[in-house]
Amino acid sequence: MSSENTPPQKTAAPRRASRWSPPTSSPTGPYRLIFRILGIPVLAVAGVIFYRGLEAHFVLPACDSGRAKQTLSKVLKELKLEPVRYAPIKTISSSKERVVCNAVMPLPDGANVVADYTFYWQGSKVNMHYTVRREAAKG
């Protein structure tokens, strides 16, 4: 009776020797490598672009920067003075709170425009104080 109620025992088949093969890669493995190769430099470039966009809110422009030249050109256009070129521009002094600049620029008629201008903080905004005069042509 007891032999009828017990299930037959399975005997394990002997394991055969097999060739070694490298483990199969997971489907996310190649994508992870591609992200590391391409994604990290892309994130670094995006960070630099983001910082440059915010830089205008935290740093005063340098005297010969594109931002300063653009502001100066707007002022001179309002005064109906359009110099031949925006150079030479000199930095008189520079600090975190104030940047003082001087520019002597030639006009088409031979005269010069002398611009003394200062960038400074007023609250959280950058302001510009300027003095512009026209010097007659020499000779």
Model pLDDT for residues 82-115, shown as the tens digit of each residue: 899 887 899 999 999 999 999 999 999 889 999 9
Tell me the pTM: 0.60
Q: Which strands make up the sheet holding 98-106, listed edge to edge?
A: 89-94, 98-106, 112-122, 125-135
d(CA 15, CA 50) in angstroms, rounded, equals 61
Residue 15's Cα: distance from chain center in Å?
Answer: 62
Question: Is the CATH number of domain 66-135 1.10.1060?
Answer: no
d(CA 43, CA 32) in angstroms, rounded, equals 15
Q: What is the dihedral sign for C-alpha 77, 82, 83, 86?
A: positive
